Amino acid sequence: MGSYYRLLRVRIAGMVSLSAAMGYLLAAREPVAVDAVALAGVFFLSGGASVLNQIQERRYDALMRRTRSRPIPAGTVSLTQASCAAALLIAAGEAVLAFFSLPAAVLGLVTLFWYNGVYTPLKRLTPFAVLPGALVGAVPPVIGWVLGGGALFDRQIGAIAFFFFLWQIPHFWLLLLVHPGDYERAGFPSLASLFSRRQLVRVVSIWMLAAAVSCLVLPIYGAIRSPILYGALVAAAGWLVWNAAALCRRSALSVAPLASFRAINLYAAWVAGMVVLDKLLGPFIS
């Protein structure tokens, strides 16, 4: 079971599901427990996409220290078993989403195609693949929003999706600093081959600043209404700016990128939590 847990990348699938749950809570007038089943469709689809990605990149995963212990290159799950798991998870995820909302199912298919059909092969061609690839992280909140009855092109969910899009970029590029040389070892084009470490740190820090600023516009689109929670957003943005500055100051230290990687993940969780709290408790803490 441990191999399949790693194959599905359950923690990542869980985070994707939570971002979809955030979108659902924002849109739903009266959230009901049965809709947790609908959100499970997002979990299945995310897990299936992850398995398919590992099938596609199994030869490259075997060359990188970060990924060579994954189930397929490690030999604990066969290619046939992984293919069956991917097919079952994707089919289950799409069936669940389609039962509750056809637009949500279509969004799920588009995301699957973009992740596995566009982003994954694009990583072999350009070090900037993460820019279009970050769209994958922006869609799950929209799927949840649609499941909750929200309009697809509403500005509020658009602002939240844009926040997650911007967050994904430094999140990924920090991995280049946390695991230096890994992507080059597997033959992936990497920013590390275009910039020195110090230059790459500056590039990542700029994107961290962009992610920090992006949360401050959420109240403009109604995602945060409470002045208290908006203050919490400002504090979170300031904290991320401080982390970006610290990354620049300590760029030569190997621990600095890992600390920034953890910080930017915590920052995204904090912002999502503030958005949900505003929806649930906003009238009481305004």
Tens of pLDDT, residue by residue over 242-278, are 999 988 887 656 667 888 899 999 999 999 999 988 8
The span from the CA of 233 to the CA of 206, in Å, is 19
For residue 2, what are the CA distances in angstroms to 8, 54, 75? 10, 16, 13
User: 283 falls in which pLDDT band (50, 70, 90)?
Assistant: low
Backbone φ, ψ for residue 79 (5° rounding): -65, -40
Nearest CA to 246 among 232, 233, 259, 264? 259
Nearest CA to 138 among 172, 94, 168? 168
Please tell me the pTM assigned to this model: 0.92
pLDDT tops 90 at residue 141: yes
Residues in the chain: 286
**178 vs 135 pLDDT, higher one:** 135
The span from the CA of 162 to the CA of 213, in Å, is 12
Tally Cβ neighbours within 10 Å of residue 112.
20
Nearest CA to 194 among 170, 172, 179, 173? 173
**Half-sphere exposure at residue 268, Cβ-oriented, CA atoms within 13 angstroms:** 28
Cβ atoms 93, 99 nearer than 8 A: no
Nearest CA to 240 among 163, 128, 155? 163
pLDDT for the residue 5? 85
pLDDT tops 90 at residue 30: no
Average pLDDT for 210-232: 90
The span from the CA of 41 to the CA of 28, in Å, is 17
